Chain A
């Protein structure tokens, strides 16, 4: 029967070809949408590896303050920590969650190819403040002050990339700033945390390395710091104003901006979902056109092929056979249109052009296939039902 339908479709290629082209183009757009959905969906399945509730970031710009910064920072942390309503304070340099600033470093371990990792320089409170799960070893603490080789903590992704099933604790890792060859560091792994993703739920999983911040001995001045402040539930603008006031009072010339992590997260979500929305709108419009094209073709086919329908009934086809023929014809046409589409889509993982995992492409293809098949099936049901209802005696009546 399929062969029979293929012949029919081939003979009507002028009308079917245009529709097949529509289906192909729509499939490619849906494939794009499917990949975006797959990226977001896969990311959403994993927890971000930290908790953002009740955490504020205080971004401090030092504005070329000429005084030594370390004593100021210490005073600031102590004062902020003593505020009623504040639970913990942590100094995190730049790389806080949802931050646009990501410091990339090249990490190397003996006998392994180098790996680009995100580097976070922070203190002893960071993990507890963000409620990060610890898988192995420990987080930084006072013991590290005396350590010969600086301590390093890595996340699960980095552990898997470098050590697989072998032990990670105690291993040496060398780090080099991705852009500045002169910034180098070396350390020994003391702990492994869960799969911490600085971009949050929608951020890609990536290897991250944490270094314990050591106050610079030579009094090097930085032009910005970030403090993470965990507050008690139910505190609001009044506490925020109080914190800003303390910063201004202690630092004199520094400027500060306070943002709840939940706000940064909302912005990050918006950023990730915007392309999804845009491609979604375009896909919806394309599907609308495909539906119109399908309906037009099928209705026309049914009115033009009335005598064919009557004839088939006379030759022994049941009403169900006729309905099924139209459904299968459309599905065969969809399949014909999708074959080149799948071939094109398959080039992405084969050539690895965009550096996304093969999983994403496969999921994207699957989603596009399902959506398109279900959609064409739905569009076919009503016209097929119409075709099945045609009375053979009426359809065959000679005019």
Chain B
């Protein structure tokens, strides 16, 4: 029975070429765009090393500073502020500090090698799980004393020391400063901006950030909770610790910790002075885009299904006249919708995989490897099915319940 349904469905789809084409294009392109969009977002905010446990991570990049008479300001904390006041945030909580990357230059045989240098403390290596290819991170003690040691990325090691050459224990000179390499880690995509750098070193002991009583700088706080359940406690502990920081006069500071996903949204929109609430704007924009991307193909499918049913009223009438029941007719339409949706879904998956492959090898090569998420694919496909059944099979079922005479009459008018 099912096989014969399948055969008929196939024939119907071949006969109605335009309907089939529009449905396939609508479904597959929507799925493709969704999958590519989610893959890009996932690459930036998904659970990959070094941010292997995004559910347990919090980032404190900005503080809200309220000064009476001067309004509010968004400022970044200094190393000193975090190190002095925010180190102890409860049992099992790892605390790390890092600064924005700085552009530095190394020179290899008269050629400039532009490197991104990220100053960090020792805790940074505990909060984030870098994959070490050789050596190990520098310790908190080394970081505190500001030793000239560095962890470098595999690419930097290759470009500076040459492919296959040992890097650990060697000296790398950047911006006229000589660093002893203690570890080599797998490359981090630039999208992973909390972790990304080519070269990680301890803060300079002379850095302004490290001087006592300098509360604002260019650093951020990285927190790792022992478990997902402990995150609310960690937030609360941070709030208490910040409240306990002594401030001049009536000034107040508050930390605005964000999850990995929130910080990505923040980062994406922070370059544009459109809003003071980038996370909300990001949600609205991406939600709106997804809604539009789903709505338009849906409208096309509905309008086509409706007129298709009108066209097929006579077919239904004839089938009924020859003894088909409402159930068998509805079954036929369900199978048609299933075939169409699955075909479109498969096509969308193939398109998305091909596009992501192209992007990974070309335009977005610096951002790491992308692949479509099968979970998202599953959900999107399920949504399409439900929608297809509602838009296609429901009118069909109603039509199927008409008596043969009514259906034929309907066809004439």
- Interface size range on A against B: 35 or more
Seed contacts A179-B73, A253-B206, A293-B300; 10 additional CB < 8 Å A-B pairs: A18-B302, A21-B299, A241-B105, A255-B102, A257-B104, A257-B105, A271-B272, A275-B272, A296-B18, A300-B307
**Most-contacted residue by chain B among A223, A255, A292 (CB, 10 A):** A292
Write the nearest CB–CB distance from A11 to chain B, whole angstroms: 13
**Residue A147 at the B interface, CB < 8 A?**
no
Which B residues between 341 and 357 are near A, CB-CB below 8 angstroms? none
A99 nearest CB across to chain B (Å): 13
Within 8 A of A (CB), among B257-311: 271-272, 274, 289, 292-293, 295-297, 299-300, 302-304, 306-307, 311
Task: Say how far B372's CB is from chain A's closest CB, in angstroms.
Answer: 17
Which residues does A use to contact B, with CB under 8 Å? 14-15, 18-19, 21-22, 25-26, 29, 61-65, 179-181, 223, 236-238, 240-241, 244-245, 248, 253, 255-259, 271, 275, 281-282, 285-286, 288-290, 292-293, 295-297, 299-300, 304, 354
Q: Using known A-B contacts A245-B176, A271-B271, A282-B292, determine if residue A237 contacts B207 with beta carbons closer than 8 Å.
A: no
Q: Which A residues are CB-close (under 8 A) to B289?
A: 282
Is B141 an interface position by the 8 A CB rule? no
Write the residues of chain B forming the contact surface with A, with a CB cutoff of 8 angstroms.
18-19, 21-22, 25-26, 29, 33, 69-71, 73, 102-105, 107, 110-112, 175-176, 204, 206-208, 210-211, 271-272, 274, 289, 292-293, 295-297, 299-300, 302-304, 306-307, 311
A179 CB contacts on chain B under 8 angstroms: 70-71, 73
Q: Are A64 and B211 in contact (CB under 8 A)?
A: yes
Q: Would A297 and B292 count as touching, CB distance under 8 A?
A: no
Q: Known contacts being A238-B110, A240-B105, A288-B25, is A256 close to B175, with CB within 8 Å?
A: yes
Inter-chain CA distance A360–B116, complex, in Å, is: 38
B206 contacts A65, C-beta separation under 8 Å? yes
B211 & A286 in contact (Cβ 8 Å cutoff): no
A256 CA to B117 CA in the complex, in Å?
Answer: 12
Given A63-B207, A180-B70: A244 and B110 interface contact (C-beta under 8 Å): no
Chain A residues lying within 8 Å of B302, measured Cβ to Cβ, are 18
Q: Do B26 and A64 have beta carbons less than 8 Å apart?
A: no
On chain A, the residues within 8 Å of B175 by CB distance are 244, 248, 255-257
Pick the residue among A25, A62, A275 that contacts B295 (CB under 8 A). A25
Whether the pair B300, A64 counts as a contact (CB closer than 8 A) is no
Point out the residue from B29, B206, B211 that lies within 8 Å of A285, measured CB to CB: B29
CA distance A295 to B206 in the complex (A): 69
Decide: B18 and A299 in contact? CB cutoff 8 A: yes
Look across to chain B and name the residue whose beta carbon is closest to the beta carbon of A21. B299
Complex: how many Å from CA A29 to CA B21? 25
Question: Shortest Cβ distance from A334 into chain B, in angstroms?
Answer: 15
Known A237-B107, A282-B293; contact A19-B22, beta-carbon cutoff 8 A: no
A26: nearest chain-B partner, CB-CB: B296
B366 to chain A, nearest CB (A): 13
Give the contacting residue for A297; candidates B29, B296, B303; CB below 8 A: B303
> A22 and B299 in contact (CB under 8 A), knowing A248-B176, A282-B293?
yes
A15 touches B271 (CB 8 A): no
In Å, the complex CA distance between A258 and B104 comes to: 8
CB pair B110–A237 under 8 Å, yes or no, is yes
In the bound complex, residues from chain A placing their C-beta under 8 Å from that of B33 are 281, 285
